[in-house]
Structure 1
Amino acid sequence: MTALSRLLNGCPLLPIIQTETPQQAVDIAAALAQGGVSAVEVVLRTPKALDAISAIRSALPSVLVGAGTVLNAAQAQDCKDAGAQFLVSPASTPALLQAMIDTGLPLAPGVSTVSEMAMAHEMGLNELKFFPANLSGGTPMLNAVRSILQQVRFCPTGGISAANLTEYLSLPNVFVVGGSWLTPADLVKAGDYTAITALTAESVRLANVCLAEKSAPLRKSA
């Protein structure tokens, strides 16, 4: 099973798409891609979510498409069948984790406690979604678990915005940040894809500056 970080290949942002129609999903994904994002997560919160995954895969082959809000084995398989390239869940149970593993897709199961992190780690999963990030302790929590779970890295989601994304990305155990701040409901409803592109471009700029600073000490030590 390929690690999600390897699939993302350095993409620092994982925006969430919640949409009512497949065409709207394609338009949102295109706006995000134009702003510099190479991967998106379509959440299973609307009846057309699976169709949206398939539509983005077909219309935008250069964009990686994952499925979020996966809650059971049936959904995990349905997402794979729809063309999802990775899976994300908001929570973790042994049965759900095993079902996601069985698809063979890269994944980031949701955790918020040290016990959940340890359970996922026991099952060989070392790239986890930290959710809801801000409500679960934010960056202090992720700093606190670094020495305990040294192999585990995180995708914080929940309360992430342009105002705090660099606080998370600067942590050694964070490989990407996710959220819906790039696809606010009012802009999606208005079809203002130019504004979505602008929001994305600014967040990508902030993320790239942060990642350059993060890697600078590594380059000096080498």
Structure 2
Amino acid sequence: MSPLLTTETTAPVRSGADVLDLAPVIPVVVVDTVEQAVPLARALVRGGIPVIEITLRSEAGLGAIEAVATEVEGMVVGAGTVVTPEQVQQVKDAGAQFIVTPGSPPRLLEAALDSGLPLLAGASTLTEMLTLAEAGLEAMKFFPAEASGGRPYLSAVAGPCPQLRFCPTGGITPQTAPQWLALDNVGCVGGSWLTPKDAVAQGDWARIEALAAEAAALRQPTG
């Protein structure tokens, strides 16, 4: 089935750089059942977060991506924890509008680039970052963010690689997110705190909507 996304709802994403500009925080979501995905995604949209990364860490991941892509207007749905070339094709078939990988081994990177979908490939070292830059990527995922040197490391990366922009993910909290977003080379952050497991299990969509609204307010429009 074709995704609902149109220019009348949310602007289409054509690159990883476009993904970074959708919201200050990309919710990184694990769902236990496909049925949880649609009301969860709608709560995020109501709260002002029009992007979601549904990971393949559960058996419900693929079905959840397809459900959100086909049923939730105004939501850009990406597939996270994509670790094999075969999964690249699976998430594309499910309707994912971008791909997020934790790393970038050659076969996975080639498959992701060949898919034509926007890609946020994971990198934690300058060699990995420069390898992705050689492949034509200027936006990427910095993972695991806190464990890989945190904000001081990523700030230092801006010296030799001023053209690169990042979505740091891993260990980021509501308290530290503003400090990450203050870095010139950070477009957004990834976090799981917008969709707490207990809130998802209980169907507490109002709580998720409130958390989304708080996250959306982390970066106010300028001008």
| TM-score normalised over the length of structure 2 | 0.90
Q: Post-superposition shift, 1:7?
A: 4.7
| 1:208 partnered with 2:219 | yes
| 1:191 partnered with 2:191 | no
Contact 1:14 1:41 in 2 (8 A): yes
Contact 2:44 2:212 in 1 (8 A): yes
Task: Give the whole-Å Cα distance in 1 for the aligned partners of 2:188 and 2:106.
Answer: 24
Alignment of 1:2-151 (within 5 A): 2-7=14-19, 9-151=21-163
Secondary structure of 1:50's match? helix
Contact 1:8 1:39 in 2 (8 A): no
Contact 1:57 1:63 in 2 (8 A): yes
| 1:156 partnered with 2:193 | no
Percent of pairs identical after alignment? 45
**Match of 2:175, as an amino acid?**
A
Task: Give the whole-Å Cα distance in 2 for the aligned partners of 1:144 and 1:69.
Answer: 27
Measured against aligned partners, the alpha-carbon deviations of 1:91-122 in whole angstroms (never above 9, x if no partner) come to: 11122111100000001001111111111111
Q: Post-superposition shift, 1:2?
A: 2.6
Secondary structure of 2:43's match? helix
**RMSD value, Cα:** 1.6
Q: How many residue pairs align between the two structures?
A: 211
Contact 2:169 2:190 in 1 (8 A): yes
Structure 2 unaligned runs (5+)? 1-12
1:165 — aligned with what? 177
Contact 2:23 2:216 in 1 (8 A): no
Secondary structure of 1:118's match? helix
Task: Give the whole-Å Cα distance in 2 for the aligned partners of 1:11 and 1:202.
Answer: 12
Structure 1 unaligned runs (5+)? 213-218
Contact 1:17 1:28 in 2 (8 A): no
Q: Post-superposition shift, 1:140?
A: 0.6
Secondary structure of 1:16's match? strand
Task: Give the whole-Å Cα distance in 2 for the aligned partners of 1:192 and 1:69.
Answer: 25
Task: Give the whole-Å Cα distance in 2 for the aligned partners of 1:13 and 1:127.
Answer: 15
Q: Post-superposition shift, 1:4?
A: 2.0
